[in-house]
A and B are shown apart, each in its own frame.
Chain A
Amino acid sequence: MAKNESNDVRVTRGKTERTEGGPSRAPYVDIYETESGLTLVAELPGVSADGLAVEVEKGVLTISGKADAPALEGYRPVYEGMALGGSFFRAFALSDEVDREATTASLKEGVLTVQMPKAPQARTRRIDVEGA
């Protein structure tokens, strides 16, 4: 019985290693409101557009991906203060006021900007009632 338990632990740990290869980072973000909508700015150093996924599903905005590992063949690390080539993940719940269809994203200088326009108020507020 005790043997089985240790096997279970090993399987679980194996899965963790395969999917991530280390703990994933949570990128630093700013979220601010403008007149036209919400803007999210995330710091993603070393991340190219190919290694980035921005998804909106069931009212949740997800940013995930993997930073490119720099070319360092033949070099010996002396000090490593950066997490290189690691995966990252962060998710945010969106309010209904955001127009998900019109959401756009751009990546520049290792900074992701996601623009989420406000949904037109008319869609939810104005109901024309026709008289008979």
Chain B
Amino acid sequence: MPLFDWGGDPWAPLKEMQRELGRLLGRGGGESQLVGGGSYPPVSIYDGEDRMIVLAEVPGVPLSALDLSITDDTLVIKGSKPAPEAARESYHRRERGSGDFSRTVVLPDSVNAEKIKAQLAHGILRIELPKSEASRPRKIDVQSS
């Protein structure tokens, strides 16, 4: 009897392991989710020429329950996910979390705090952070003599 049943795809056990790890890290899956602790909400950070973009997954969180603050290059996303109104005993399945959360994101550059734009659509928070003058690459004209 073989030690491993490869089942045709030699990478299948590795893919399975990757999926299980992804689930533990909160990238989807059937396990319950921790809110208030761990790393919630999931975020992605993108760097552009003159601005950075931070995306956060906050399904079910209304705009009024979100609070953003920035200090130099550190963004803090705070909020509260409303608890469902149903009584606890009537649940057949409960995987969604609820409660207060806070996540700190250290950005690759410092930010011009005056010009930050944030919008919420379909449960995704998109924050556009223009870089401060000091951290922006400066073009230097070379004069020919």
B-contact bits for A29-42, CB 8 A (1 contact / 0 none)? 11111100011010
Residues of B contacting A83 in the complex (Cβ-Cβ under 8 angstroms): 27-28
Q: Describe B's contact surface by its main secondary structure.
A: loop
Q: Does B29 contact A (CB under 8 A)?
A: yes
Looking at the complex, which one of A39, A72, A110 makes contact with B46 (CB distance below 8 Å)?
Answer: A72
Q: Does B58 contact A (CB under 8 A)?
A: yes
A34 pairs with B46, CB closer than 8 A = no
B53 pairs with A75, CB closer than 8 A = yes
Complex formed: what's the CA distance from A9 to B96 in Å? 38
On chain B, which size bracket covers the interface? 35 or more
Complex formed: what's the CA distance from A68 to B18 in Å? 24
Interface segment out of the listed A19-27, A55-63, A98-106, A118-126:
A19-27
In the complex, how many residues of chain A place their beta carbon closer than 8 angstroms to a beta carbon of chain B? Answer: 42
A45 pairs with B29, CB closer than 8 A = no
A-contact bits for B24-65, CB 8 A (1 contact / 0 none)? 000111101100000100111111110011011111111000
Residues of A contacting B120 in the complex (Cβ-Cβ under 8 angstroms): 109
B-contact bits for A89-118, CB 8 A (1 contact / 0 none)? 000000000000000000001110000000
Q: Does B139 contact A (CB under 8 A)?
A: no
B60 pairs with A111, CB closer than 8 A = yes
Say yes or no: A110-B124 contact (C-beta < 8 A), given A28-B33, A78-B108.
yes
Residues of A contacting B9 in the complex (Cβ-Cβ under 8 angstroms): 9, 12-13
Nearest B-chain residue to A83, judged by Cβ: B27
- Pull 25 A–B residue pairs with CB atoms less than 8 Å apart, ordered by A: A9-B9, A26-B28, A26-B29, A30-B86, A30-B95, A31-B92, A31-B93, A41-B84, A41-B96, A44-B123, A45-B57, A46-B124, A68-B122, A72-B46, A72-B53, A77-B44, A77-B47, A78-B46, A78-B47, A81-B39, A81-B42, A84-B44, A88-B28, A109-B62, A110-B122
- B interface, CB within 8 angstroms of A: 8-9, 15, 19, 27-30, 32-33, 39, 42-49, 52-53, 55-62, 84, 86, 90-96, 108, 120, 122-124, 126
- A interface, CB within 8 angstroms of B: 8-9, 12-13, 23, 25-34, 38-39, 41, 43-48, 68, 70, 72, 74-84, 88, 109-111
